[in-house]
Amino acid sequence: MLHERIVFLTVHILGIPWVAAADRIQVRELRAGYYQLDIRYDFKDEPDIPLALTLAAQHGLQFEMMETSFFISRQIFIPTAKSGWRKWQEHLFSTMSHNSRNVTDYYRIPSNGVISLGSQIEI
């Protein structure tokens, strides 16, 4: 399946307390049907991707959330005997990673439009 429009979305969490509204969203057309969308948040903001996508309309990109697919990467950490870590450290890291906040919740992305691509990383 090929989508009619592909948008590469990058979220930047900046180390500053405030991002001006004019600097929050940047859209670049890479070529016909392909775009780079950069969204900038300050460190005190809670990222809200659906809200940011409505703001992208001011830059020529309009989104229908029920017709938008989000491809998200996810890493699963697996403890192994090969690492230099102690066994309890590997298991603690693996458990904390597993229990971390879900990216769809953090960015407020509707879960019915998410396609998750994952990989396993041995630690």
Tell me the C-alpha distance between 112 and 118, whole Å: 17
- Predicted local distance difference test score (pLDDT) of residue 72: 84
- Predicted local distance difference test score (pLDDT) of residue 8: 93
- Predicted local distance difference test score (pLDDT) of residue 10: 93
Mark which of 65, 89, 115 sits at the end of a domain.
65
The torsion angles phi and psi of 19, rounded to 5 degrees, stand at: -115, 125
Contact partners, residue 93, CB within 8 Å, separation at least 6: 77, 79, 85, 123
Please check whether residues 23 and 35 belong to one and the same domain: yes
**pLDDT digit string (tens) for 5-41?**
889 999 999 999 989 888 899 999 999 889 999 999 9
Please check whether residues 53 and 109 belong to one and the same domain: no
- Predicted local distance difference test score (pLDDT) of residue 38: 95
| Nearest by Cα to 108 from 59, 21, 45, 36 | 45
- Predicted local distance difference test score (pLDDT) of residue 2: 66
Angle (CA) 68 29 64, round 5°: 20
Q: How many domains does the chain have?
A: 2
- Predicted local distance difference test score (pLDDT) of residue 117: 82
Alpha carbon of residue 5 to chain centroid:
18
Please check whether residues 39 and 57 belong to one and the same domain: yes
**pLDDT digit string (tens) for 60-91?**
889 888 888 888 887 777 777 776 778 788 77
Tell me the C-alpha distance between 101 and 85, whole Å: 24
Q: How confident is the model at residue 1 (pLDDT cuts 50, 70, 90)?
A: low
